[in-house]
A and B are shown apart, each in its own frame.
Chain A
Amino acid sequence: MPHESIVLLGVNHKTTPLEVREKMALSDGYESPLAALGALDTINEYYLLSTCNRVEVLFTCTDPTLARLQILDLLFGSSIEKDQLERHVYQYQNNEAINHLFMVASSLDSMIVGESQILGQLKEAYRYASDLKTIGLVLNKLLHKSFTVAKRVRSETQIGANAVSISYAAIELARKIFGSLDDKKVLLVGAGEMAELAAEHLVGQGVSEVVVANRTLERAVKLARRFGGTAVSLGELVDQLAYVDIIVSSTGASSIILSKDDVKPVMKERRNKPLFFIDIAVPRDLDQNINDLENVYLYDIDDLNNVVEMNKAERDKEALKAERIVQEESLKFGQWLEKTELTPTIVELRSMADKICRNELEKSIGRIQGLTAAEQKSVEKMASAIVAKVLHHPLQYLKNGNNGTNQKTRIDIVRDLFNLEESRMDREDQ
C-alpha cells in the first residue's frame, strides 16, 4: 500500500511581503478553489485557509513533489510568477505540518501572537471543506484536534490575556477602572488622527457617547459626526469633565491645557465618580499631578508604552508554555496517525491468514469421514491456533519493531513478506 503524507503549503506574513500575499489571497471565497482542487487526482484530502496574513493549503497525497507543483500551478499559476512562488512558499510535511497547523490555530504564528480571531477563521475554512466533503478521516481529525489544542493553549496559558498595543492597553486599564464601558462617555480633546483611532477602539468596546473638543470647531463637528457624538469648543473643556468618564487628549498644544486645580473641583460635582485621563500628546497636554487626585487616573504615552512592554515580556513567557503544549499535542497526533497507518495492514494480514485457514479446513474436513461435531470443533480450533501463533511475531514486529526501524519500512517489509498487495488485488478481482 502506498503511504500518504500530510503536506502543508503556504505563505504568511513572515515569509512573504504583502504585495505577493495580496495576489495569492483567495478573494472569491473557498468554494471555487476547493472545487478546482477536486480535479487533481494526486491529492486525496485537502483544505484551504486564506486570511489577510496567510494562505495555506493542507492536503494528503502520496507524491508531495508532484502534488506541490500541480496545486501551486492550479491555484496561483495565473496570478503570480513561478519563481516568485518558489521563493516564498513554505512546505511542511507530516509531523512538521501538524505542528505548524497547531501553531496557527493557537495563534502562535499570528502577527499579533495570542489574538483570537484566527481560530474563527480556521473553523470557517474547515466548514467549507467539510461541506464540500474535501476532507476525510485524517484531515477531519487533524483539524478538530487543532481546535482543541487552541482551546487548551487558551485555557492553560495567559497568552491572549495581555494587551500589546497602546490602544488596547488603554482600554484594558479603562476596564480595570470602570468594569464595563457600556454606559461610559468619552471626551476627545483634539481631533487628530490619534484621537480618531482611540475613539474607534473605545466605541468598538461599547462606549456609549463621544464628545469632541477641538481648537477649530469645524474639525470637531466633523469627527463628532462620525461617531454620532457632539462637538464642543476647547473653552468648555472643564465644564465637560463633569459629564464624561474617559478623556483622550491629543492636541498639538505646546503647554499644559488642564491642571490639577482645574480638575479638583469637578470631582465634587461628579460625586467622586472616577475619571480616566489618557494623554497621548507629545508634548503632554495634561498636568501630571492630576493623577494624585482621588478617583482620578492619568496615564500618558510613556506609561502606556511601559504597560505594553511589560505585557509583551509576559506574553513571550506564555508563548513558550504554549509552544510546549503544541509540541506535546503534535506528538500525540503523530502517534495516532502511525496507528491508523498500521491498522489496514494488520486487518489485511489477519484476513488473509483467516482465509487460508478456512480454505484448508474446508478441504480437509471434506476429506475426513466420520468426525463428530466435537472433533470437528477441535480441529478448527487447532487450525486457528496455528494461524494465531504464526502471526504473533509478525504482528508484534509491526506494532513495536525491535531495533528502532521506521514504521513505514516495517509495514513495507511485512506487506512484501506476506504478499499483501497481490492478495488484496485477488480479493478485489473476485
Chain B
Amino acid sequence: MSSLLFQISFFIYFLAATTYMVFFVSQNAKVRKVARTIFLGAGLCHTLTIILRYFEAGHTPITSQHETVSFFAWSVAWCYLSFRWRYTVKNFGTFVSLLTFCLMLLSAMAPKTILPLVPALQSWWLPVHASIAIVADGFLALACIGGIMYLLQEREIKQKRFGLFYSRLPSLDALDKLNHHCLSVGFPLLTLGIITGSVWAKQAWGAYWHWDPKETWSLITWFLYAALVHQRFTVGWRGRRAAIMTIIAFLSVLFTLWGVTYFLDGIHTYAA
C-alpha cells in the first residue's frame, strides 16, 4: 500500500517539476499557481506515504536506502514549503522541485522491501537522531540550491551577457540572504543531529564516538559548514565564495549519506 502511494507521490512530483519548468520558461503566473498546488499536493501525498510506511514497518522508515532518500526528498520539499510560508524567492520552486524529483528517482531505484530492524537500532533515538539529521540536510540542500542560483545569476551579471537566468532569478542579495537563512537553520540542526547520534551511540554501542566512516564524514561535513558559518560572521564571506563553499559542503553531505554506504564499510550502515 505504501509503495503504491510512493509511486503516486513520485508521479505528482514529476508533474510538479515539469509544470515548474514550463513556468520557468514561460513565466506565466497562472502556470506557477498550478505548479505550486501540484507540488503541495505531492508533499501531502508523500507525507501520507511515510506515515503509512511507519505502520507497515512498525518503526520509523529511515532505515533502508529507499526510505532514507525518500525521507530526504520529503524533508527538502517541506523545508521549502515551510520556507515559502515565510518569504518567497523568485523561481526557487523550479529548482527545488527538480531536486526533489531527482531524489525521488534515486529512492525509487533502490529496493523497497521493508527490512527488519536490527536490535541495535531499536530505540526511540532512531526517529529523533535520523529525522533531525535529515531535516538538517533538507535545509542544507536548499542552501546549496540557493548557491547554484547565485552562481548562475552572478555569472550573467559579471560577464554582462544576459541569457535565460538574468530576468528569471532574483537579485544576488536575495540569493545571498537565502544562503544565510538556510545555513542558520540547517547548521544548528546538523550539530544537533551529530550530538543526538553520539548520545545514541553511547547507549547502543557503549562509546560516544567510534570513528566509523559515517561518523568521520559527518564530522568533516560539520567542519566545512562550521568554517563557512564562521567566515560569514567574522570576515563577511558572502556572495560567490559563500555559494561555492555551500555547494562543496553539500557534496560532502551527499557523500556522507550515500558514498560512505557504498564505498566504505562500517557499523553505521543501514539495517541491511
How would residues 291 to 302 of chain A score, 1 for a CB under 8 Å from any chain B CB and 0 otherwise? 100110101000
How would residues 156 to 179 of chain A score, 1 for a CB under 8 Å from any chain B CB and 0 otherwise? 101001100000000001011111
Q: Tell me the B171-215 residues at the A interface (CB within 8 Å).
A: 171-174, 177
Residue ranges of B at the interface with A (Cβ–Cβ < 8 Å): 27-29, 153, 157-158, 160, 162, 166-167, 170-174, 177, 235-241
7 smallest CB-CB distances across A and B, nearest first, come from A271-B236, A179-B173, A179-B171, A272-B236, A295-B239, A272-B238, A303-B160
Whole-angstrom distance between the alpha carbons of A270 and B236 in the complex? 8
| A307 at interface, CB cutoff 8 A | yes
Residue ranges of A at the interface with B (Cβ–Cβ < 8 Å): 155-156, 158, 161-162, 173, 175-180, 268, 270-274, 291, 294-295, 297, 299, 303, 306-307, 310
Q: Is there contact, CB below 8 Å, between B235 and A158?
A: no
Q: Is there contact, CB below 8 Å, between A156 and B166?
A: no
**Contact for B240 among A155, A180, A291, A294, CB less than 8 A:** A294
Whole-angstrom distance between the alpha carbons of A173 and B171 in the complex? 9
**Contact for A179 among B158, B160, B174, CB less than 8 A:** B174
Whole-angstrom distance between the alpha carbons of A273 and B241 in the complex? 13
Q: Is there contact, CB below 8 Å, between B153 and A176?
A: yes
Given A268-B235, A295-B240, 19 further pairs, Cβ under 8 A: A176-B153, A176-B171, A177-B157, A178-B173, A179-B174, A179-B177, A180-B173, A272-B235, A272-B236, A272-B238, A272-B239, A273-B236, A291-B158, A294-B239, A294-B240, A294-B241, A299-B160, A307-B162, A310-B162
Interfacial chain A residues near B240, Cβ < 8 Å: 294-295
Whole-angstrom distance between the alpha carbons of A162 and B162 in the complex? 12
B30, closest chain A residue (CB): A155
Known contacts A158-B27, A176-B171, A178-B171; is-contact A271 B235 (Cβ 8 Å): yes
Whole-angstrom distance between the alpha carbons of A173 and B157 in the complex? 8
Q: Is there contact, CB below 8 Å, between A272 and B237?
A: yes
Whole-angstrom distance between the alpha carbons of A375 and B119 in the complex? 95
Q: Is there contact, CB below 8 Å, between A175 and B238?
A: no
Interfacial chain B residues near A299, Cβ < 8 Å: 160
Whole-angstrom distance between the alpha carbons of A270 and B235 in the complex? 10
Interfacial chain B residues near A272, Cβ < 8 Å: 235-239
Whole-angstrom distance between the alpha carbons of A268 and B237 in the complex? 10
Interfacial chain A residues near B167, Cβ < 8 Å: 158, 161-162
B236, closest chain A residue (CB): A271
Interfacial chain B residues near A303, Cβ < 8 Å: 160
- Smallest CB separation, A120 vs chain B (Å): 21
Q: Is there contact, CB below 8 Å, between B236 and A177?
A: no
Q: Is there contact, CB below 8 Å, between A274 and B28?
A: no
Interfacial chain B residues near A173, Cβ < 8 Å: 157
Whole-angstrom distance between the alpha carbons of A271 and B172 in the complex? 16
Interfacial chain B residues near A297, Cβ < 8 Å: 157-158
- Smallest CB separation, A112 vs chain B (Å): 18
Whole-angstrom distance between the alpha carbons of A310 and B162 in the complex? 9
B238, closest chain A residue (CB): A272
- Smallest CB separation, A417 vs chain B (Å): 49
Q: Is there contact, CB below 8 Å, between A274 and B239?
A: yes
Whole-angstrom distance between the alpha carbons of A268 and B173 in the complex? 18
Interfacial chain B residues near A155, Cβ < 8 Å: 29
- Smallest CB separation, B62 vs chain A (Å): 38
- Smallest CB separation, B118 vs chain A (Å): 49
Interfacial chain B residues near A175, Cβ < 8 Å: 171
- Smallest CB separation, B228 vs chain A (Å): 14
Interfacial chain B residues near A307, Cβ < 8 Å: 160, 162
30 sampled A-B residue pairs with Cβ under 8 A: A156-B28, A162-B167, A173-B157, A176-B153, A176-B166, A176-B171, A177-B157, A178-B171, A178-B172, A179-B171, A179-B172, A179-B173, A179-B177, A180-B173, A271-B235, A272-B235, A272-B236, A272-B237, A272-B238, A273-B236, A274-B172, A274-B239, A291-B158, A294-B240, A295-B240, A297-B157, A297-B158, A303-B160, A306-B160, A307-B160
Interfacial chain A residues near B238, Cβ < 8 Å: 271-273, 295
- Smallest CB separation, A177 vs chain B (Å): 5
Whole-angstrom distance between the alpha carbons of A180 and B170 in the complex? 11
